Amino acid sequence: MDNYPHKSGLGLIEPVAQINHNVAILWNNVWSYRRVTYLEGIPPFQFLDLGALAANTTSVITQALNLEVQNDEFAQYRWFPIDDVQVRLWLPQASGRYRLRNLMSVVDSMTIERDPCLHLTEFFEWQYERPSFEAINGSDYALAQVRLVAFGFRYKTEELKGDIVRAIQDGNVPVVRIVCQGVQ
């Protein structure tokens, strides 16, 4: 079993873990040790429409309620905009993803041309902690809508306790490490 997310290499998205695999989920700087009990593929769907966006403007940061999963679940998503905009991902809402020292990189409508399998857009969501998105219309014309599409996997998990957690922490049991938040 791999010990890191984003394992698909050159190709389509793969589940980061299978049923009965152990996962360590980082959220709010705390590791949660879990076992996958159910796995389901999520086909591409439009999860958010940020609405109309005037020329040379930026939308408000909007939570993506349709990406939310249940308690004890995490999701693995890849995503892209289908309209001519640049989009920033916030996970959690106050922490931008793809952040460098002097800028925050964006996903745009050409990302799918440059990275057809969307490896660089992959992120993980834990339980009901939904991501947020912000669109930038850098063009000289207004857009009637700004739509985003996602696909991936949903994982139901159960908590691990006792000796198995200690064995994972000691490095004696394999685990897939999932980071479900932005690095501060």
Cα(90)–Cα(125) distance, rounded to whole angstroms? 11
Cα(118)–Cα(112) distance, rounded to whole angstroms? 6
**In this predicted structure, what is the pLDDT of residue 182?**
56
Residues in the chain: 184
pTM, full prediction: 0.88
Task: Print pLDDT tens along the chain (184 aa).
Answer: 444 555 555 678 899 999 999 999 988 888 999 999 999 999 999 999 999 999 999 999 999 999 999 999 999 999 999 999 999 999 866 677 778 888 888 999 999 999 999 988 999 999 888 899 999 999 999 999 999 999 999 999 999 999 999 898 888 888 888 887 755 4
Cα(180)–Cα(184) distance, rounded to whole angstroms? 12
Q: Does domain 22-179 have CATH number 1.10.3860?
A: no
Q: Where are the domains of the chain?
A: 22-179
